[in-house]
Amino acid sequence: MPRSRGGLLTLLVEQGALLSVPVWESRQEGRNWFARIALDPLARGGVDRHFFRRAGAGYYYLLEGLEVADPVEFGADWVPGPYQRVRLRWYGVVWSLSGAMLQLVRSPDAKTAVAASIARRAKQVEVKVRPPRVIQMEGE
């Protein structure tokens, strides 16, 4: 079961696959996915998606290629009848990833998730440069 604490959603990982997800539609008419997202005005809905592979029984998705600071989307759609669709979306940014867990920070929409991802990546590569220390030797 996903755990949310201090603004982070923690999902357990085993054998490189998720053991739980924040949204899921179990009905036969349901459609579920987990994707890395990017904004693209030419893509459907303005969001380009790279879908992660579904895993076998007892698991949800394989995490191959997922990295810290990736913006992601979990989706679960259900079609209860003609011209009707129930859409569940969960957007976020990968905060940390290990062999045992995936931690995500939630975003309200795809655009905010991508912006948060860019900010997270900038912090990862930010290098703090300190001025060199000058050491004076005796007799100089």
What domain range includes position 62? 3-125
**Residue 77 belongs to a domain:** yes
Residue 56 has, within 13 A of its CA and on its CB side, a CA count of 3
**Residue 118 belongs to a domain:** yes
**Residue 78 belongs to a domain:** yes
pLDDT reported for residue 84: 87
From residue 45, give the alpha-carbon distance in Å to each of 70, 84, 107, 111: 19, 18, 17, 11
From residue 73, give the alpha-carbon distance in Å to each of 11, 15, 33, 98, 113: 14, 21, 8, 19, 9
Evaluate whether 37 touches 73 at the Cβ level (below 8 Å).
yes
In this prediction, the residues of the chain whose per-residue pLDDT falls under 50 are 127-130
pLDDT reported for residue 85: 86
**Residue 111 belongs to a domain:** yes
pLDDT reported for residue 29: 84
Q: pTM (2 decimals)?
A: 0.83
pLDDT reported for residue 81: 82
pLDDT reported for residue 128: 47
pLDDT reported for residue 8: 87
**Residue 140 belongs to a domain:** no
Per the structure, how many domains does the chain have? 1
